[in-house]
Structure 1
Amino acid sequence: MENDLFSASRLFFCAADIYMLYRFFSTMFKKKRTSKVTIVLTITFTILMFLENSLGLSWLNLMTVPIIYYVYVILMFRVSLTNAVAYTIIFYAIFACGKEVSFEILYRLLTNILPFYVPPWFTSGGIYFLLVEYFVGFMFLVYIEKYTRKLEISDNDSFAWYLLIVPIFSLIISVNFIYLDFPKERYMQIFMCVGAFLLFFTNAAIYIVLEKYKDVLNKVKIAELSLVKQDMENEHFQKILKINERYQCYMHDINSYFNSFRLLALNGDNEKIINIIDELKGNIKKETEIVIYNGNPVLNAILSERVIKAKEVSVELSIFVEKFLKIDFISDADLISMMGNLIDNAIEAAEKCNKGNRLVDVKLFMGTNYFLVLHIENSYSIMALKEGNRLLSTKSDPKHHGLGIGIVNSLAEKYGGSLNLEERENKFITTLTISCFS
């Protein structure tokens, strides 16, 4: 019997194994290599698999193939070490060990039932049967991809460990199937073959079900956080409406005050005028802290509330608002979300600095006739966490607080603009640009 372990056909099947591994992970995780490096790594690991397989030792395959898979995944994809372990074992249980064991038992059954001989996989004659095995495995992978592509899988998710319960047990059972003597009774042979294939398909089915369950849990969690955020925005909106209502009351009475000032001035009662102005100024400052930055009352209320907040935490907040801003095209709720979130973040970052260095500078102006620009510079003491080019929250509950920047990003896109966050020397710079003709 001619041994065909060291041949071009075996190299082809090793390449197929690496390619299927690549396909499995690429539907869930982002690549971190260029196309050229990807090709080089894939060829390298294919040759490594080929050399290892050429030894023809099953026990060695069982130990070293998962390690080869794992190293390839770590080098190729943006995935945590623990997630790489979990999903490599899942892949190995389904598309390597599970597939091979199922077809090995099927070939044993066919050898006993049919009048022709099914040659071993490591011989030239066995290559044709391997083609069937790999074709079925590849089509099964394509079927699974339809589900995994729709899932939002975290790069580092502890839930992945729960997915290993069935694959690990199936690996143990599959190994026992291989090393057990094939039963002599025909019904037991069929039972063993059916059991192996059921184990193969059940692994994939349970994996899909658990992944979809995890995906649903993630979406529910995001929805809950969004509702919390929405409640916070609604509460904030009501507060601003209240401030705006007070502001409008003062503006409504301004004519009455002017008429009173005129009569008092004609009578020469200047001291009385001063007393009324001082009292009025004190009431306005005490109740609303209103400063008229712009003709838009909601924008005035947003900025006035931040002035109060900044004073409470000893942050020096300076605000410049250019005259004749084009801002009426932004809805009140969106204005609160964008301006409020970004200025709040700046104040909270500055608050963590030493006293005397708690600075926030806010500028709102027209970049051109077509773009509205919110430019914020603030001091900070804690370096921002980064994931690639994306800045992460440094707050104690980043998953909750991180929604703010995400909302602003979405709204910036809604209005045909962009949000840019930048660290420069001792300042954190936020620039929100919005198209006036979105």
Structure 2
Amino acid sequence: MGLVVIAEPIGYIIYLTLAGGVFEHEIVGYYFVVFVMEVFLLLVVELFCKIKAGKNVRVSLLPKEIAYTLELIPFASVVSCFLLIEIAGEIMSADTMILCMCVIFSIVVTNYIVFLMVHKYTGMAEKRLEEEMIYQEIAYNNEYYQDVEKYQEQIQDIKHDMKNKLAVLYDGVERGEREFVRDTLAEMLGDIRLAEDIIYSANPGLNSLIKVKVAKAREKGIEMTVKAFVPKRMSISFGDMGVIYGNLIDNAIEASMKIQREKRFVDVETKYQDGKLLIVVSNSKNMESNPAFATTKENKRKHGRGIRSVRRVAEQYGGNLLLEDEGGTFKASLLLTNVERLE
């Protein structure tokens, strides 16, 4: 910004220098200088585009204090250049013109150095964010595999108990104890429901992930419904799916835990169509309004990282996260616009 705006004062000084002696008509000199400076601006923009290869500097990654100071630098540069123009206009001499041009050139170089420093800083900030996201994904994967292991242990326990109960049931049948047999069968059916192999999605990775979360919700007395209409294979990685679905569903489960058991629910709906993946997670919550969406968890920093990780994954797929507090219900909606169907 500073480099581009400073080009105009440079052009004005060139115009003051040439208008009197080189061009007979003042208007001719004016348009000539304007043309030269526009070409200069074009070259500057093209140079920066080549240097940055289309990569923009994300000022949002900078701390607010640094960002505000950074915005003042181009403004101060422009003011300084206009002051130099006024000085050059008052003292029309070759030495003054050369001195002013040197000072303006120094301002240009200073702006360029500041730009490079900002680019370097934002690059480091992006790397830190990427590392934080990787750590978040690793932490989630560890939690996921622990949940899977716990789920498998529960299945093994049910199978082991089933063998013992079948043996007892056989003895009950032999003795003709109908009441005992009926109660034992009812208990066994309850265990089978816990271990039933429900297919929630045609996508194997998403199906296994949701299955673990449903088991986790049931353990906490939360009714969880799932509607998933997605292809068997998509261009979104399992790790990214884990970050998105894992964080959103875990947050929903924890929020539902804060109300009466009979009112708890979590609804998960995900649809795919024409390269777009819609994910909506709704959950019950207390009636207190939370317009700022501030976390009520004890570990606020961890919760904030989870939501930030979801937003960063969403950005990779051209998506956006929308959070809505509807009183007794909280809804997180995520639309990814760059997800390819692989089969």
Query: Shared topology, TM-score over 0.5?
Result: yes
Partner of 1:346: 252
Alpha-carbon distance change, 266 to 276 in structure 1, aligned in 2, over 3 angstroms: closer
Partner of 1:303: 214
Unaligned residue ranges in structure 2 (runs of 5+):
200-206
> How far has the Cα of 1:326 moved from its partner?
9.1
Alpha-carbon distance change, 217 to 365 in structure 1, aligned in 2, over 3 angstroms: closer
Q: Answer whether contact 2:255 2:284 (CA < 8 A) is retained.
A: yes
Q: Give the root-mean-square deviation of aligned CA atoms.
A: 5.3
Alpha-carbon distance change, 437 to 164 in structure 1, aligned in 2, over 3 angstroms: closer
Matched letter for residue 209 of structure 1:
L
Q: Answer whether contact 1:144 1:208 (CA < 8 A) is retained.
A: no
Partner of 1:179: 87
Partner of 1:128: 31
Partner of 2:283: 378
Alpha-carbon distance change, 274 to 150 in structure 1, aligned in 2, over 3 angstroms: same
Q: Answer whether contact 2:3 2:112 (CA < 8 A) is retained.
A: no
Question: After superposition, what is the alpha-carbon deviation per residue over 1:90-145, rounded to whole angstroms, capped at 9, x for unaligned?
Answer: x4x5334x32443444456668xxxx704699x42432343223332343244445
Question: After superposition, what is the alpha-carbon deviation per residue over 1:353-392, rounded to whole angstroms, capped at 9, x for unaligned?
Answer: x65895324367999xxxx99875423443555xxxxxxx
> How far has the Cα of 1:226 moved from its partner?
0.3
1:302, 1:166 → 2: CA distance? 51
> How far has the Cα of 1:209 moved from its partner?
0.8
Partner of 2:41: 137
> How far has the Cα of 1:340 moved from its partner?
2.9
Trace 1:37-76 onto structure 2 (pairs within 5 A): none
1:179, 1:165 → 2: CA distance? 23
Partner of 1:83: none
2:123 paired residue among 202, 207, 216: 216
Q: Structure 1 residue 117 and structure 2 residue 21: aligned?
A: yes
Trace 1:84-103 onto structure 2 (pairs within 5 A): 91=1, 93-96=2-5, 98-103=6-11
Alpha-carbon distance change, 243 to 148 in structure 1, aligned in 2, over 3 angstroms: same
1:362 paired residue among 256, 264, 267: 267
RCO higher in structure (CA 8 A, sep ≥6): 2
1:332, 1:105 → 2: CA distance? 60
TM-score by length of 2: 0.63
Alpha-carbon distance change, 269 to 406 in structure 1, aligned in 2, over 3 angstroms: farther
* Percent sequence identity over aligned pairs: 15
Q: Answer whether contact 1:151 1:215 (CA < 8 A) is retained.
A: no
2:73, 2:230 → 1: CA distance? 60
Matched letter for residue 228 of structure 1:
Y
> How far has the Cα of 1:303 moved from its partner?
1.7
Partner of 2:223: 318
> How far has the Cα of 1:273 moved from its partner?
8.3
Trace 1:151-300 onto structure 2 (pairs within 5 A): 151-154=56-59, 158=64, 159-164=66-71, 166-167=73-74, 170-171=77-78, 173-174=80-81, 175-176=83-84, 178-179=86-87, 182=91, 188=95, 192=99, 194-253=101-160, 256-266=163-173, 268=175, 292=196, 294=198, 299-300=210-211
Question: After superposition, what is the alpha-carbon deviation per residue over 1:367-426, rounded to whole angstroms, capped at 9, x for unaligned?
Answer: 9xxxx99875423443555xxxxxxx5435576232354377589x79xx9998766674
> How far has the Cα of 1:236 moved from its partner?
0.9
Q: Answer whether contact 2:223 2:266 (CA < 8 A) is retained.
A: yes
Q: Structure 1 residue 427 and structure 2 residue 335: aligned?
A: no
2:74, 2:334 → 1: CA distance? 48
Q: Answer whether contact 2:13 2:97 (CA < 8 A) is retained.
A: no
Partner of 2:204: none
1:194, 1:373 → 2: CA distance? 57
1:160, 1:94 → 2: CA distance? 18
Query: Residue 27 of structure 2: SS of its match in structure 1?
Result: coil
Matched letter for residue 251 of structure 2:
N
Question: After superposition, what is the alpha-carbon deviation per residue over 1:241-295, rounded to whole angstroms, capped at 9, x for unaligned?
Answer: 32133124225425632552244325539699899999999xx9xxxx9554626
2:170, 2:262 → 1: CA distance? 48
1:360, 1:326 → 2: CA distance? 23
Q: Answer whether contact 1:350 1:357 (CA < 8 A) is retained.
A: no
1:162, 1:418 → 2: CA distance? 29
Alpha-carbon distance change, 168 to 357 in structure 1, aligned in 2, over 3 angstroms: farther
Q: Answer whether contact 1:343 1:376 (CA < 8 A) is retained.
A: yes
Matched letter for residue 238 of structure 1:
Y
Matched letter for residue 202 of structure 1:
V
Query: Residue 378 of structure 1: SS of its match in structure 2?
Result: strand
Matched letter for residue 249 of structure 2:
I
Unaligned residue ranges in structure 1 (runs of 5+):
1-90, 312-316, 386-392
Question: After superposition, what is the alpha-carbon deviation per residue over 1:42-85, rounded to whole angstroms, capped at 9, x for unaligned?
Answer: xxxxxxxxxxxxxxxxxxxxxxxxxxxxxxxxxxxxxxxxxxxx
Matched letter for residue 124 of structure 1:
I
Query: Residue 162 of structure 1: SS of its match in structure 2?
Result: helix
Matched letter for residue 214 of structure 2:
L
